[in-house]
Amino acid sequence: MMNGSIIWYLQRISSLFVLTYTIWLFSSFRSFDGTFLGWDLLTSSIVFRLFTTITIISILMHAFIGLWTVGTDYLTSRTLGFLSYRLANYADLIRNSYQILFVFLGLIFLIIVLIVIWI
Amino acid sequence: MSAKSTRPISRPVFLNLLKIKLPMNAVASITHRLSGMYVFFITLPMSLALLFLSKKSETTFTYLKAHLNELNFLSFFVYISFLIFFYHLLTGIRHLLQDLHIGDSMNMLNISARGIIVIWLIALILVFTSL
- Residues A12-33 have pLDDT tens digits of 999 999 999 999 999 998 889 9
Q: Is A5 buried (19+), middle (13-18) or exposed (0-12) by CB count in 10 A?
A: exposed
Alpha-carbon distance A62 to A9, whole Å? Answer: 10
pTM attached to this predicted model = 0.90
| Per-residue pLDDT tens digits for A35-93 | 999 999 999 999 999 999 999 999 999 999 999 999 999 999 988 988 888 889 999 99
pLDDT mean over B44-63: 96
Q: Do B33 and A66 touch (CB under 8 A)?
A: yes
Rounded to whole angstroms, the Cα distance separating A37 from B58 reads 8
Residues of chain B with Cβ-Cβ distance to A18 below 8 Å are 89
Please give the ipTM for the structure prediction.
Answer: 0.93
| Predicted pLDDT of residue B17 | 67
Q: How far apart are CA A100 and CA B121, in angstroms?
A: 35
**How far A13 CA lies from chain B's nearest CA (Å)?**
10
d(CA A99, CA A75): 10
Which alpha helices (H) appear in B1-103, and where do they start and end?
A: 2-5, 24-38, 44-56, 58-68, 73-99
CB A55 within 8 Å of CB A21: yes
Q: Write the residue in A18, A34, A109 that is nearest to B48 by C-beta.
A: A109
What pLDDT does residue A2 have?
67
What was the pLDDT predicted at B7?
60
Confidence at residue B2, expressed as pLDDT on a 0 to 100 scale:
46
Enumerate the residues of chain B whose CB falls inside 8 A of the CB of residue A43: 51, 54-55
Kindly tell me the burial class for residue B44, based on how many C-beta atoms sit within 10 Å of its own C-beta (0-12, 13-18, 19 or more).
buried
Residue B22 or residue A76, greater confidence: A76
* Cβ within 8 Å, pair A116-B55: yes
A94-117 pLDDT, tens per residue?
999 999 999 999 999 999 999 999
